[in-house]
Structure 1
Amino acid sequence: MSDTAESPELSVARRVLILAAVVLCSTLYATTLLVASTLLPQMQGSMAATPDEIAWTTTFNILATAIATPTSGFLAARFGRKRVLLTAVIGSTVATWLCGQAESLEALVLWRILQGGIGAPVVPLANAIVLDSFPRRQAGLVSSIFGMTVVLGPVIGPVFGGMLAETYNWRWAFYMIVPAGALAAAAVAVILPADRPGQRVPMDWTGFLALATAIACLQLVFSRGQRLDWLESSEIIAEIGIAALAFYVFLAHSLTTDRPFLNLRLLLDRNYALGLVLVLIYGMVNFTPIVLLPTLLQSYAGYPDSIIGQIVGYRGIGGVIGFGSTLLIGRWDPRLGMTIGFGLLVVSGLWLMSLDLNVDVDTLLLNAVLQGIAVGIIWVPLTVLTFRTLDSRWTAEAMSLFHLLRNLGSSLFISLSVTEIVRSTTMNYSRMTELVSPYNRALSVPNLMGGWSLETLQGLARLSKEIDRQAAMIGYLNAFGLYMAASAIAIGFVLLARGKPRAAG
């Protein structure tokens, strides 16, 4: 236990400054996570990458965060919270600068991995410091303030990042974070009280490394499978084999050791097991539209970066509204709040499936707000329901797996959605080009053809481009269909959970 956790001598002003410092760190980290979503189209052109390749800058960042987050407790106990938080802020800020300096896709993905992995302890440690710096009676208030302000990251990053990318280029969206990172590091160094490492917490390195290997190989399979033709590639077969072997080692070791990295026996608690499924789905539907929409809107609908940044930013505004509404919904049965939230995601998914390439800005803004409200409503009742019937002594360990699956769901589902877009675009382009023939009577109607023509190379090029746009749109609609289906499936799992804890005895 750190000194921060035993600090009744802290003044009110010092506590407020501590809250401001850690909120700045968490908001900064949320900004670095989501700013790249607005920049994907520009980065794709700059790096000469395909849509599935440029998506790696987001998926592998989230994956690195997922793998590194469970080590936060071990690092804090080994080196102290302040030291780990300061290192995480400085390291992620340096990695953000290097992202702006990257000259190749490989370098950009590498720095994004380091950015996510080094910065992973920021949010859990910031949350723990806030709770330990205030009296227990104020825990609900400071948690609400912490949660509400962290939501600002998804607003600040895309909006200002999009404006800078349009005015200058995508690199400046990363550079803008560096001064804020330096300020956050200075605040942590000056404001947070010095702490001592607490009791050494043993780390199950075998279980951790086995699970990390399995997750990394699974991510590679989803990210590269479509490009390498799945099981026709020896690389994909090898990655599947390594993932299966590593996961077997993780399961066997976790079930036979006294202190596993993740205690799988916690899955015997029904609400907790269902909560893990639900948080996996929550992760799947949380970031996917943010990653898919910018590329669709700029590459195929012609939207500028600044407008795309506003659309993503409006989702953050919806998130603030959603978190605020939990003050009322929190009094209800958690299952009802989650049903409302996932139901709104189903509505937003159906809405997205009705779009075409002529969609207007107002429609996109309203849909983004609806998505934000939904994910904001879901989070609090999801956390309450998951840990409601679990013994409190297992909370810290159970929370690690909870956040691991949330991030894992995001990275895998983004890869799956991008794979569906690439597959569907290719397939539909082939089918539609089969109809381009002088023998197709529909193409001989002048009013129908417009600026397209089968007689000139320019006319054929314009027709090919339009077919590619429509084929891609079908792929995006299919991906939005997966998003909607996952949200609908979650409602079924919500109804299986227990509403109230069982009475003792």
Structure 2
Amino acid sequence: MTDSRAFSPEPKRFMITLAIMLATIMQTLDSTIANVALPHMAGGLSASQDQITWVLTSYIVAAAIATPVTGWLSGRYGRKTIFLISIAGFTASSLLCGIAGNLLEIVAARLLQGLFGAALVPLSQAVMLDINPPERHARAMAVWGMGVMLGPVLGPTLGGWLTDNFTWRWVFLINLPVGILSFLGVYYYVHEAKSKLLSRFDWFGFSMLAIAIGMLQLFLDRGEQADWFGSIEIRVEAACCVIALTFFIVHTATSGSDSFFNLKLLRDRNFVTGLAFYFLLGLLLYATRALLPPLLQTLLGYPVMTTGLVTAPTGVGTMVSMLFAGRMVGRVDSRLIVALGFGLTAASLWQMAAYTPQITEWDVAWPGFVQGLGLGFTSVPLTTMTFSTLEKHLRPEGTAIYSLSRNIGSSIGISAMQTLLARNTAIMHSSLAAYVTADTLVSRPDALSRAFDLSTTAGLAGLDAMLYNQASFIAYLDDFRLMFWLTVLALPFLWLMRKKKAPDGEAPDPAAVAAE
């Protein structure tokens, strides 16, 4: 029940809005701000390129695990209490990220950041609705939606500027003043809503799913380095994942409506198809964001600030297309709008797969903008279609599972693409090195001697480094090409979804689901 004091006078409403929007922007900003700083983090923490992506995947997995329990916690302990704990925890873990001295410390801090940050966006939306009367809800959600989208837009540019002018640590330390101001604003101006006595939460089912997801992520992140099933560690992680997932499936099948995952959700074809597409959307979006900064900075020598600027248009494209998509839903077949979005995404990946070492900043910015357009045209109508046939009482559970599918897709996508990148780089390096034989050096001495003194160890090392860079570049293009084909092959399955308006009430707000 909403507190009667919630509909506050204008000045107080402004202060509450400012406080919760600071929390929202802080959380959404961290979804992109660290990407451009990854190569600098790798150098500062003595981590390899595939290891440093754990900074991204640990945050995503933790947020994915914590998001479904947000509603139960706020109903059990009070929305304001959970909001304050989340802001304080997110701010403190940001400090831990900023002062981390090695890879293990920053990954642990990012796990905490994801756990505490999971509640910030859904709770900020709930508070915005509570403090505004019904006639102001549309305006309030417009303001809130702008804040949600502002973080991903500003993230790459701000991250590049902070890293270039200060150090990568400020990518996280910038959250401290924002978090403190947000905490004080919520503490002084937001009143506690009455807690709801919710039904018992399925902690066993939730724990089994969390363990399965965590073990799967460790399996993917560590597999390439630990020689996959040749390592005891990887075999243990795989076994734990299978056992936990088995417990979850059996528990879900035998617990009925008391389980964490309601099996009735699987009876809705639109919802199941939507889960698959949202999983793929998370994979494409976050894997691309994780691949581009190392490619630009490590192989092409882009300054970190330039990297931030040329990757920022993705967020701009998303903002532009979401404005149009919202107006098109209801007037145009939503499947056609999603197909347009996936088509634009495929076009951007095709352009990325055609990169050469001579690409310009425009060659990077334009495909990113097109991919952003594709994301905006996809997320709004896809969310609408996914929930359009779902019964109203199943939508709260469906929203949590829907957000979970994208987060799992994101973490798996980053890990899988980094694994393929490392493997394909090694394969291509061996293939290219096979052409540099003694006969080649004899037949074409001038071509190589102008760049390297092949009679010295340093010269041979330089030649090997050049071959490695060429192999890495080809491996990046292979990743982009694979994602292109995944996008194209998924398109026909859109027509598994039915055209049908929601039978009662409205589907969850697309911007809210996208931000969780």
TM-score scaled by structure 2? 0.93
Q: Is the 8 A contact 1:253 1:260 kept in 2?
A: yes
- Describe how 1:236-385 pairs up with structure 2 within 5 A: 236-257=234-255, 258-330=257-329, 331-385=331-385
Residue 9 of structure 2: aligned partner: 11
> Residue 498 of structure 1: SS of its match in structure 2?
coil
Shift of 1:281: 0.8
Q: Deviations over 1:281-327 (max 9, x none)?
A: 11111211111111111111101111111123222222211222223
- Taking the aligned partners of 1:304 and 1:320, their CA distance within structure 2 comes to 26
- Taking the aligned partners of 1:157 and 1:278, their CA distance within structure 2 comes to 25
Residue 113 of structure 1: aligned partner: 111
TM-score scaled by structure 1? 0.95
Q: Is the 8 A contact 1:438 1:454 kept in 2?
A: no
User: Which ranges in structure 2 are unaligned for 5 or more consecutive residues?
Assistant: 505-516
- Taking the aligned partners of 1:345 and 1:51, their CA distance within structure 2 comes to 25
Residue 70 of structure 2: aligned partner: 72
> Residue 152 of structure 1: SS of its match in structure 2?
helix
CA change 1:311–1:251 in 2 (3 A) is: same
Residue 121 of structure 2: aligned partner: 123
Q: Is the 8 A contact 2:7 2:133 kept in 1?
A: no
Q: Is the 8 A contact 2:2 2:130 kept in 1?
A: no
Q: Deviations over 1:65-89 (max 9, x none)?
A: 0000001011101111111111111
Residue 230 of structure 2: aligned partner: 232
Tell me how many residue pairs correspond in the alignment. Answer: 502
CA change 1:252–1:217 in 2 (3 A) is: same
Shift of 1:158: 2.2
Q: What amino acid is aligned across from residue 193 of structure 1 in structure 2?
A: H
Q: Is the 8 A contact 2:70 2:119 kept in 1?
A: yes
Deviates more, 1:191-200 or 1:11-20: 11-20
Q: Deviations over 1:66-114 (max 9, x none)?
A: 0000010111011111111111111111101110100010001000110
- Taking the aligned partners of 1:134 and 1:374, their CA distance within structure 2 comes to 32
- Taking the aligned partners of 2:319 and 2:228, their CA distance within structure 1 comes to 41
CA change 1:8–1:426 in 2 (3 A) is: closer
Q: Is the 8 A contact 2:387 2:502 kept in 1?
A: no
- Taking the aligned partners of 1:443 and 1:7, their CA distance within structure 2 comes to 85
Q: Is the 8 A contact 2:219 2:237 kept in 1?
A: yes
Residue 22 of structure 1: aligned partner: 20
Q: Is the 8 A contact 1:33 1:116 kept in 2?
A: no
Shift of 1:407: 0.6
- Taking the aligned partners of 1:149 and 1:126, their CA distance within structure 2 comes to 11
CA change 1:451–1:56 in 2 (3 A) is: same
Deviates more, 1:465-474 or 1:249-258: 249-258
- Taking the aligned partners of 1:328 and 1:25, their CA distance within structure 2 comes to 28
Q: What amino acid is aligned across from residue 409 of structure 2 in structure 1?
A: G
- Taking the aligned partners of 1:137 and 1:70, their CA distance within structure 2 comes to 29
Deviates more, 1:384-393 or 1:153-162: 153-162
Shift of 1:503: 8.0
- Taking the aligned partners of 2:158 and 2:6, their CA distance within structure 1 comes to 40
CA change 1:502–1:93 in 2 (3 A) is: closer
Q: What amino acid is aligned across from residue 328 of structure 1 in structure 2?
A: R
Shift of 1:431: 1.7
- Taking the aligned partners of 1:45 and 1:280, their CA distance within structure 2 comes to 32
> Residue 440 of structure 1: SS of its match in structure 2?
helix
Q: Is the 8 A contact 1:204 1:260 kept in 2?
A: yes
- Taking the aligned partners of 1:174 and 1:369, their CA distance within structure 2 comes to 26
Shift of 1:352: 0.4
Residue 434 of structure 2: aligned partner: 434
Q: Deviations over 1:90-143 (max 9, x none)?
A: 111110111010001000100011001111111111122223333445444433
Counting aligned pairs with the same residue, the percent is 34
Q: Is the 8 A contact 2:19 2:181 kept in 1?
A: no
Shift of 1:32: 2.0
Shift of 1:411: 0.4
**Residue among 177, 192, 195 paired with 1:194:** 192
User: Which ranges in structure 1 are unaligned for 5 or more consecutive residues?
Assistant: none
> Residue 103 of structure 1: SS of its match in structure 2?
coil
- Taking the aligned partners of 1:26 and 1:490, their CA distance within structure 2 comes to 32
Q: Is the 8 A contact 2:334 2:381 kept in 1?
A: yes
Q: Deviations over 1:135-170 (max 9, x none)?
A: 445444433332222111122232122112112221
- Taking the aligned partners of 1:193 and 1:134, their CA distance within structure 2 comes to 13
CA change 1:332–1:132 in 2 (3 A) is: farther
- Taking the aligned partners of 1:135 and 1:288, their CA distance within structure 2 comes to 40
CA change 1:497–1:16 in 2 (3 A) is: farther
Say what the alpha-carbon RMSD is for the aligned residues: 1.9
Shift of 1:12: 4.5
> Residue 32 of structure 2: SS of its match in structure 1?
helix
- Taking the aligned partners of 1:229 and 1:126, their CA distance within structure 2 comes to 44
- Taking the aligned partners of 2:158 and 2:73, their CA distance within structure 1 comes to 33
